[in-house]
Amino acid sequence: MLLFAGLGNPGTKYAGNRHNVGFMAADAIARRHSFSPWSRKFQAEIAEGKIGGERVLLIKPQTFMNLSGQSVGEALRFYKLDASAVTVFYDEIDLVAGKVRVKVGGGSGGHNGIRSLDQHIGNAYRRVRIGVGHPGIKEMVHGHVLGDFSKADREWLDVLLDSIADSADLLAKGDDAGFMNRVTVALRDKLQPTGPDDAPPRKKKPGAQSHIRQARPQPPVAKLPESGPMAAMLKKLFGKD
């Protein structure tokens, strides 16, 4: 059995916060893989299901972020699992918004939810770090993470959450590199539209006669935004000017 934990703060007041992107990832996984309805146990909301043939318990601690380890530790002891069975989804200000990185172990990086987990279950668990960007000034970090994602953010956030859910089977199999690659490719493909000029040339049918035809108007080529938050994020993610 595996335990997938999404970190966040309970209540509608915090539902749209960047700090709650772990909850959002857990919800996306539950929807994509048809988990059971959410119920209450272990000071958390939990749902059960299967991903990639593995039984998985999804858990969203309701203890508030700073005490997340209490809830996850309780579930871990109940099922007699060790920390290696745990995968945690959470916000990471040291990653560009939209980037995802996976690692096992390490420090808390100043994240209070991770610090709490380290205290209760050790640090030998997998971390799925979901980039929410840094405001640029240390004094603005608190307001940044407890601020809601903007309307422009939703353009990449919804794609990212769907990609995480679609790729969760690779996490269940322990293929961290494959998971990161699939999520990155999905973001690139869905956020960088292609136009008719990107399609390969059609091959002429055998015996086709050469003749002049009136050119039909072509639909406009989809273009990436040249300015604004979406353009800046795409440039950081994929190196596009």
pLDDT tens per residue across span 81-119: 999 999 999 999 999 999 999 999 988 888 999 999 999
The CATH code of the domain at 2-190 is 3.40.50.1470
Give all strands of the β-sheet with 126-131 in edge-to-edge order: 39-41, 44-51, 54-61, 2-6, 86-92, 126-131, 100-104
pLDDT of 109: 85
Strand 126-131 relative to strand 54-61: parallel, antiparallel, unpaired? unpaired
User: Mean pLDDT for the chain?
Assistant: 86
User: How remote is the C-alpha of 69 from its chain's centroid?
Assistant: 21
Catalytic-residue membership of 33: no
User: And the tokens for 195?
Assistant: 């136009």
Name the active-site residue from 19, 33, 111, 144: 19
Helix count and strand count (H, E) for the chain: 8, 7
- How far apart CA 114 and CA 97 sit, in angstroms, is 19
Please tell me the predicted confidence (pLDDT) of residue 180: 95
Predicted model pTM: 0.80
Could you tell me the residue ranges of all domains in the chain? 2-190
pLDDT in tens, 161-205: 999 999 999 999 999 999 999 999 998 888 775 555 444 555 555
Element (H, E) at 235: helix 229-238
